[in-house]
Amino acid sequence: MSVPQSLHDYGSAGRAVVAGARRSLGVPSIVLGGSFLGFGALVHQAGLSVWHALFSTATGWALPGQIALVELYAVGASVLLIALAVGLTNARLLPMTVTLIPLLRAPSVPRWQYYLISHFIAVTGWVAAMRDCPAMKAEHRLPYYAGFAGVLWSISMVATWAGFALAGSVPAYVTLGLVFINPIYFMLVIAADVRARTRMLAAILGAIGGPAIYLIVPDWSLLLSGVIAGTLGYLIGKRGGTHE
């Protein structure tokens, strides 16, 4: 495989980590910080402890699933139902990981490192890495991503704690606004990112299909809508034009 000379070289893996960490400061950190403030407050409202909030962010780190878990727990849902709901809510992580790992791949990286870094694959890092990593030297992509996601994860932890601590002293409508950041942010991520026809079609069909299928088969609607809309978007988009 020929490597284009224009691939960015950070000099060392350590410098790539730092570059990724610096890149995550700013907008990604602020948005995720705000979102996890909302999560911390939500956990407080559900009557759980700060340790539950922190443990959830540390081990889950995929906000819509974490929110679904806390909401369902608060209304007394069974563990089985919660597991199913969280799993279905987070199904996007499979195609996201399938598409990100090949970009992070380098011959020198042992396989277990991909399983470790995959815990830190979530929307913000995925979008940034899908955009930025192809321009980097292969050996620097995984370290770059580790720096990027490591900072975001740490900020998520601090924000979760702060949100829990502040929950009692802010009005409920402010918490509501913080919880609303997550869907708005994801929507704008899609709006900003879909340049390719196939992906734009997939997103539009998914946005229609998600709620529509929910009215017929609530439990599996997300998965069905994702696979159907994604496949249709891919097929129709491919047929319609030469560019992606």
Partner 1 sequence: MSETVLSDATFWWPMLVIVVGAAATYIWRALGVSLSGRIDPEGALFQWAACIAYALLASLVARMILLPTGPLAQTPMIDRLVATTLALAVFFVSRRTMLLGIGVGAGVLVLATYARTVGV
Residues 85-144 that bind partner 1 (CB under 8 A): 86-87, 89-103, 105, 114-115, 118-119, 121, 123, 126, 130, 134
**Residue in 91, 41, 42 with CA at minimum distance from that of residue 65:** 91
Nearest distance from C-beta of residue 232 to partner 1, angstroms? 8
> Footprint of partner 1 on residues 149-168 (CB under 8 A)?
none
> Of 10-18, 140-148, 152-160, 191-199, which part binds partner 1 (CB under 8 A)?
191-199
86: left (phi over 0), alpha (psi -120 to 50) or beta: alpha
Query: Phi and psi (nearest 5°) for 136?
Result: -105, 160
> Of 2-10, 17-25, 63-71, 155-163, which part binds partner 1 (CB under 8 A)?
63-71
Interior angle at CA 193, CA 188 and CA 199, nearest 5: 110
Residue 220 contacts partner 1 per CB under 8 A: no
> By the 8 A CB rule, do 8 and 135 touch?
yes
| List 25, 49, 131, 217, residue binding partner 1 (CB under 8 A) | 49
Residues 6+ apart with CB under 8 A from 27: none
Residues contacting partner 1: total by CB under 8 A: 109
| CA 205/CA 220 separation, integer angstroms | 16
Residue 81 contacts partner 1 per CB under 8 A: no
Q: To which H or E segment does residue 66 belong?
A: helix 63-74
**Residue in 90, 35, 45 with CA at minimum distance from that of residue 70:** 45
| CA 69/CA 67 separation, integer angstroms | 5
Residue 13 or 77 with smaller CB distance to partner 1 = 77
Q: Would you give the distance in Å from CA 166 to the centre of its chain?
A: 25
> Of 16-24, 138-146, 159-167, 197-205, which part binds partner 1 (CB under 8 A)?
197-205
> Of 4-12, 14-22, 66-74, 144-152, which part binds partner 1 (CB under 8 A)?
66-74
Residue 156 or 175 with smaller CB distance to partner 1 = 175
Q: Would you give the distance in Å from CA 147 to the centre of its chain?
A: 16
| List 9, 231, 240, 241, residue binding partner 1 (CB under 8 A) | 231
| List 18, 48, 50, 158, residue binding partner 1 (CB under 8 A) | 48
| List 17, 31, 138, 167, residue binding partner 1 (CB under 8 A) | 31
| List 8, 50, 174, 220, residue binding partner 1 (CB under 8 A) | 174
| CA 21/CA 120 separation, integer angstroms | 13
Nearest distance from C-beta of residue 108 to partner 1, angstroms? 16
